[in-house]
Amino acid sequence: VQLQASGGGSVQAGGSLRLSCAASGRDFNRYGMGWFRQAPGKEREFVAGINWSGQNTNYAASVKGRFTISRDNAKDTVLLRMVSLKPEDTAVYFCARDGLFMAVDPPTTEERYENWGQGTQVTVSS
């Protein structure tokens, strides 16, 4: 499967963006999806995850209440809606697919994810 992330850009603090991740390949609707980010000089970190059906989600504490992950299985797309953006949200954002078929809960660790997209840059200025 191939993943293509898009929707990044530059915004001021308090602004919003919507990231999109388009998947190609089979069985998109049978795997959880996740978003990660990597800021300059820092390790990649988990942001949000959604299970295969869209019924279960989880978020990093730093984004909970500001970011919303969703999916459209008819369009093989997963979205990340980001509001009230802060300068510390500046990073390259990656989408990835869970390696486990039809897992109930989306994983929060990199090791469970495979098929990473190329990343999209989000820059938040103060």
pLDDT block averages, 10 residues each, the chain of length 126: 95 98 92 97 97 96 98 96 98 96 93 92 97
pLDDT score of 26: 87
pLDDT score of 85: 98
pLDDT score of 90: 98
Token representation of residue 42 = 């820092």
Q: Which residues pair with 97 in a beta bridge?
A: 33, 114
CA-to-CA separations, 63 to 25, 31, 58, 81, 123, in angstroms, rounded: 30, 23, 10, 11, 15
pLDDT score of 1: 86
